């Protein structure tokens, strides 16, 4: 029975999509500790935004490289496996993120070998233990904000996606993908910063919270729109893998589930 189950192409597809979704979500959390300059990365002059009386350059967490891919996989899983599929992988991803951070903090707490602490001095890292703790030991407020915002965003994405799907049927795939992302990431972008930096010890003023959240939301939406062609390519690849009839069957079931 188990062998026949794993031979089913739809089951294999779900496992592959879920695995890629989860690894991207976990990686986004861990690399998110780095803040990068978009202008510096692109080699262009700094663009100064001015919102709510605040100004600054286009700086984002490195996790934003992966979150648009997570959004695309959310939409694909929504399309073929429905609400239950997205909710299942979202809870699994949250559990894996928590699991990963538990072991990251456990690793930080381990007593370092004396020789290891100074092994990277030639690379400009005088204290490897301090560097390891700084990279992997993200603040609890940041972790909590990221996890709560991610979970709320995913649940909202599911609801909006299927509301648009009921209204448009099989037409306008791009609309339900970008529409659900637009609503879910509006919530996600503001919730994560509110928990991490307003409720957290930094206690940002409202103007800074609104400005930074708005800039982050704008970046996520631009990336999501830019990746729409990837969504259509994945749909084509899935139809080729499953066959038109099986793919249509899954979409019809997902729409009802």
Which parts of the chain are beta strand (E)? 35-37, 49-51, 54-56, 59-61
Per-residue confidence (pLDDT) for residue 2, from 0 to 100: 54
Task: Decide if 55 is inside a domain.
Answer: no
The answer to whether the beta carbons of residues 148 and 190 sit under 8 Å apart is no
Q: Which domain holds residue 216?
A: 7-33+61-256
The answer to whether the beta carbons of residues 58 and 39 sit under 8 Å apart is yes
Give per-residue pLDDT as tens, 4-53.
777 789 999 999 999 999 999 999 988 888 888 888 888 888 888 888 88
If one counts the domains in the chain, the total is 1
Task: Decide if 43 is inside a domain.
Answer: no
Residue 61 DSSP symbol: E
Task: Decide if 16 is inside a domain.
Answer: yes
Task: Decide if 89 is inside a domain.
Answer: yes
Task: Give CA torsion, residues 156, 160, 161, 163, to 10 deg.
Answer: 140
Task: Decide if 1 is inside a domain.
Answer: no
CA distances from 198 to 52, 251, 253 (A): 16, 41, 42
- 36: helix, strand or coil: strand
End-to-end CA distance of the chain: 24
Percent of the chain having pLDDT more than 70? Answer: 98
| Average pLDDT value over all residues in the chain | 89
pLDDT at 234 over 60: yes
- To which residue do tokens 């995913």 refer? 154
Average pLDDT over residues 146-153: 90
Task: Decide if 24 is inside a domain.
Answer: yes
Task: Decide if 45 is inside a domain.
Answer: no
Enumerate residues 6+ apart whose C-beta is below 8 A from 222.
none
Give buried/exposed letters for 221-251 (b at 16+ CB in 10 A, else e). bebbeebbeebeebbeebeeebeeebbeebb
Give per-residue pLDDT as tens, 57-103.
888 888 888 888 888 899 999 999 999 999 999 999 999 999 999 99
Task: Decide if 143 is inside a domain.
Answer: yes
Packing angle, helices 228-242 and 67-109, rounded to 10: 90
Average pLDDT over residues 140-161: 89
Enumerate residues 6+ apart whose C-beta is below 8 A from 21.
70, 73, 74, 77, 89, 93
pLDDT at 121 over 60: yes
Q: What are phi and psi of 35, to 5 degrees?
A: -105, 125
- Could you give the CA distance from residue 202 to residue 215 in angstroms, rounded to a whole number? 19
């Amino acid at each position: 029975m188990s062998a026949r189950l794993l031979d089913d192409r739809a089951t294999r597809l779900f496992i592959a999509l879920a695995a890629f979704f989860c690894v991207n979500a976990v990686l986004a959390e861990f690399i998110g500790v780095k803040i990068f300059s978009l202008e510096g990365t692109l080699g262009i002059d700094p663009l100064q935004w001015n919102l709510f009386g605040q100004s600054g350059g286009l700086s984002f967490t490195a996790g934003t490289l992966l979150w648009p891919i997570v959004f695309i996989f959310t939409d694909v899983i929504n399309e073929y496996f429905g609400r239950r599929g997205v909710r299942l992988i979202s809870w699994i991803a949250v559990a894996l993120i928590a699991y990963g951070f538990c072991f990251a903090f456990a690793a930080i707490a381990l007593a370092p070998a004396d020789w290891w602490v100074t092994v990277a001095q030639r690379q400009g890292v005088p204290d490897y233990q301090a560097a390891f703790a700084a990279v992997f030991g993200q603040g609890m407020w940041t972790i909590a904000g990221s996890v709560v915002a991610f979970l709320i965003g995913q649940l909202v994405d599911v609801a909006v996606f299927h509301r648009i799907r009921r209204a448009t049927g099989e037409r306008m795939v791009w609309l339900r993908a970008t529409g659900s992302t637009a609503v879910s990431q509006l919530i996600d972008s503001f919730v994560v910063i509110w928990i991490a930096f307003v409720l957290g010890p930094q206690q940002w003023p409202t103007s800074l919270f609104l400005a930074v959240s708005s800039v982050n939301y704008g970046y996520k939406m631009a990336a999501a729109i830019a990746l729409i062609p990837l969504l259509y390519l994945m749909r084509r690849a899935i139809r080729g893998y499953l066959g038109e009839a099986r793919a249509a069957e899954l979409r019809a079931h997902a729409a009802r589930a």
